[in-house]
A and B are shown apart, each in its own frame.
Chain A
Amino acid sequence: MASSFTKTGSSFCRNSSKSSINPHLKLGPNATSFISSGIPDLDKILGGGFCVGSLVMIMEDAEAPHHMLLLRNFMSQGLVHKHPLFYASPSKQPKLFLGTLPTPNSSSSKLDKSRDPTHEKDLRIAWQYKKYFEEPNLNISTNNGGQHEYCNDFDLRKPLERHFYSGTNVDCVSIQDSPNLDALQDRCARFLAQLSRSEGNSSSAGRIAIQSFCSPQCKYSDMEWHMLSFIKSLKGMTRSSNAVVVVTFPPSLLSPSCSKRLQHMADTLLSVKAIPDEDKELAKLLTGYQDMVGFLNVHKVARLNTQVPVILDATTFSIKLERRRFLVLECLNQAPVDGSSGTSYGTSGGCSGSTKSGSLDF
């Protein structure tokens, strides 16, 4: 009797916990939950997505707007999931940026995409890739419910339909003209207050996207301590709310110590880098160099509620646009070298390279 009682009790608990989460939220280890970054591959790399309550920082490449690719997908995914969104940017009319967001791909063409392994792709499933193909796509729910998917594929060539961002849950603000960050901090605090965890509303997760945080057109850009203190309090507020904050900043415009401080504050730290147009040495070194648009570096993965660091197999990924539509991240592959295939075998394993020796690792 007693045992049956506890049994029903435990199963009840399990059921209730399962029904209370929505498909846009995924439970992670250590009582954390994830929301999707809008890029299926990035979700997989980070072990599920962006951690709710964490601060994600993306270091921009001053010469290329690759951080916008990540930001667009992140915002689009939130809008498709009807998450509240707050967007701040140094442009005059940040609202216009919403018109450039990509639209989720319809499920029919997604099937088409997975059923259509090109000749090139067949070749790639070689020894280098075996372990990645054996990995089942556990992280990504595959139900074709469109809006109910955890993570959508976004078609970068089609703009998002208007009804997604015409609602009231989208807030845009320009940070160009404000003399300091107090106004922005107030807006963020108000936005995050609606999503506070204590109220028990785990149904929606908010997204804050701040683009080019320390860019020189902002009037506060020479007040480094002011900016650091803003990020610190933003992080503090985010910790107690159901939200993810993504901030992109150009590290080259900051003093080295300030940039390091921001990197320490970030829970998840990414950086993007453009590929020089005609780098013949690199073209010889890497397979699929033609399709790459840039590199993504994963410096740090969020470690909320745990002390164990996340060590990835590889920390550098190439950003590719598949059929010029879909954002794809891949591990770097060294092209076979003529006459000395031994060296390429040596680098094939799951070793993540030295962070000191250079910006690329294989």
Chain B
Amino acid sequence: MEHTNLNLLDEALGLHNINNKLWPLCGRFILVEDSVDTTASFVLHHIIKRSLSSHPSSSVIFLSFSHPFSHYDRILRKLGCNLAAQRDNSRFFFIDMLMLQCPDEGKNNHDGLAVIFEKVERVINTLHPDNKKFLTIMIDDISLLEVVANGSSNAVLDFLHYCHTLTSEFGCALVALDHKDIYSNDERPALILELEYLADILVNAEPLATGLAKDVHGQLMVLDKGSQHEHGISSHKIHNFHFKIKENSIEYFYPGTITMS
């Protein structure tokens, strides 16, 4: 991994810890939350890029419910990562779920998501055993997964639990995007609460309290619940910073320290 170009997000996610030659996110569950006003999909793009460049045999399984491959390919190409080439090298596995629809009848929902999980498992089985800990599973996004499951949040939670067990089984990383504002009016938003509880790292993108601006696109809150490696010391770390999204990079800065060029 490059030592240069580490930004605030890398630091907050702990990607600067490259001492033990492991992918720093391995075995961890990262939940990314956003809202209608501020999308956090750029965090996913960033993690794709970092994980593919972290190790020569690292790989990403991408479950896409919201955009076709060409969308991500164009974005990542501008960020300096050729997804089409990585796909041909069997390092980027794109599972297109855009047209997936489960039948309505009650019990079949589970079957629908089970099919998806089997697909993920099949990909993992093709990987070399040594490379499984450099694997990242990414879901974009959970709210559409719920739609696929016809609103059965239990089915979604089951699916995510299965994915979560993979992180402990193989030491791979799980990254999922969800939209927090969907649940803000629920009395008991079980799904999002459970996900937040499970997550090792919580990334929350919000618009600025003062509204949208051209120079600052929003603020990120990264909560790291502490890693297992640190001799049993659980250290909650909170990072707050602002960001500005550009085509080929994202600028991160602490509030008030934006540098105009």
Contact = CB atoms under 8 A, between A and B. Distances in A.
Interface of A: 30-31, 224-226, 228-229, 232-233, 235-237, 239-240, 255-257, 260-261, 263-265, 269, 299-300, 303-309, 311, 315, 350-357, 361
B41 interface: yes
A308 B247 contact: yes
B87 interface: no
B64 to A, nearest CB: 10
B97 to A, nearest CB: 9
B210 interface: yes
Nearest to A357: B211
A347 to B, nearest CB: 13
Nearest to B104: A226
B182 A260 contact: yes
Contacts of A229: 101, 147-148, 150
Interface string B89-119: 0000000001101001000000000000000
Interface of B: 36-39, 41-42, 45, 65, 67-68, 70-71, 74-75, 98-99, 101, 104, 143-144, 147-148, 150-151, 179, 181-186, 207, 209-214, 217, 245-247
A225 B151 contact: yes
A309 B75 CA distance: 13
Contact of A225 (B75, B147, B185): B147
B245 A307 contact: yes
Contacts of A260: 36, 179, 181-182, 184-185
Contact of A307 (B45, B98, B147): B45
Contacts of B144: 232, 265
A305 B75 contact: yes
Given A237-B99, A305-B74, A355-B207, A261 B183 contact: no
Given A257-B185, A257-B186, A355-B212, A264 B179 contact: yes
Contacts of B41: 307
Contacts of B246: 308
A239 B68 contact: yes
A269 B67 CA distance: 17
B147 A261 contact: yes
B259 to A, nearest CB: 19
Contacts of B150: 225-226, 229
Contacts of A264: 36, 143, 179, 182
Contacts of A225: 147, 150-151
Nearest to B189: A257
Contact of A228 (B67, B98, B147, B207): B147
A236 B66 CA distance: 8
A306 B98 contact: no
- Residue of A236, A257, A307, A353 with highest tally of chain B CB at under 10 A: A307
A141 to B, nearest CB: 27
16 contacts: A225-B150, A225-B151, A229-B147, A256-B185, A257-B182, A299-B37, A305-B75, A306-B74, A306-B247, A307-B247, A308-B246, A309-B217, A315-B212, A351-B213, A352-B213, A361-B211
A232 B209 CA distance: 31
Given A232-B144, A233-B101, A309-B38, 6 more contacts: A229-B147, A232-B101, A260-B179, A260-B185, A263-B36, A311-B212
B210 A261 contact: no
A223 to B, nearest CB: 9
A217 to B, nearest CB: 22
A338 B36 CA distance: 38
Contacts of B99: 233, 236-237
Given A239-B98, A311-B214, A355-B37, A261 B209 contact: no
A345 B144 CA distance: 45
Q: Which 8 A-B pairs have the closest CB atoms?
A: A354-B211, A236-B98, A256-B185, A225-B151, A305-B74, A260-B182, A228-B147, A307-B42
Most buried by B among A30, A236, A265, A355: A236
B74 A261 contact: no
